[in-house]
Amino acid sequence: MSILIDYFIILWGFLLIALLGIGGFFMFRKFLKQLPKEDGKSEMDWQHHFIEKTKHMWKEEELELLNELVAPVPELFRDVAKQTIASKIGELAIAKNKEEITKELLIEGYIVGTPKRDHRFLRKKLKEKNIDIAPYEQFFSLSEKDYRADWKTRY
């Protein structure tokens, strides 16, 4: 009986270490986003900046579309994903001197702001909504997985 308890304690220890490691990994990633870059602002600061600057540009229709597009993200991470994508869309809106967030700009920002693994869902969702993806094909190569140091100049 004591050997079973010993194995249970060992397995429990490994499980605890694994869970702490996973939690620590996500906390460390969040910590890295808070560190200031060369310009003195962190990645999170820039996200908040772009969201605040473009908050008035969003219409209800575009917000609903954004909510639909982030729906497959697990609820625990959905707010973070939505914030990251919305900040990328806001960054594009400011860079292009737009007065409001349009459906086209939202789709373009969503493509650029999401990793490649999400593009299959996006293509499927746009097809369901009868939105032609041909004008956006060029942006799929600019997604997060393929970021390069000069992606803004190529864009």
The string of pLDDT tens digits covering residues 33-53 is 777 877 788 888 888 889 999
CA angle at 114 for the pair 111 and 98, rounded to the nearest 5°: 50
Residue 70 has pLDDT above 60, yes or no: yes
pTM of the model: 0.71
Mean per-residue pLDDT for 15-23? 92
Mean pLDDT over 138-146 rounds to: 67
C-alpha 97: how far from its chain's center? 23
Residue 97 has pLDDT above 70, yes or no: yes
Question: Which range (24-33, 71-80, 82-91, 138-147) has the least confidence?
Answer: 138-147
Q: Please list, residue by residue across 108-141, b when 16 or more beta carbons sit within 10 angstroms of its beta carbon and e when fewer do.
A: bbbbbbbeeebbeebeebbeeeeeeeeebeebee
**What's the CA gap between 92 and 50, in Å, rounded?**
9
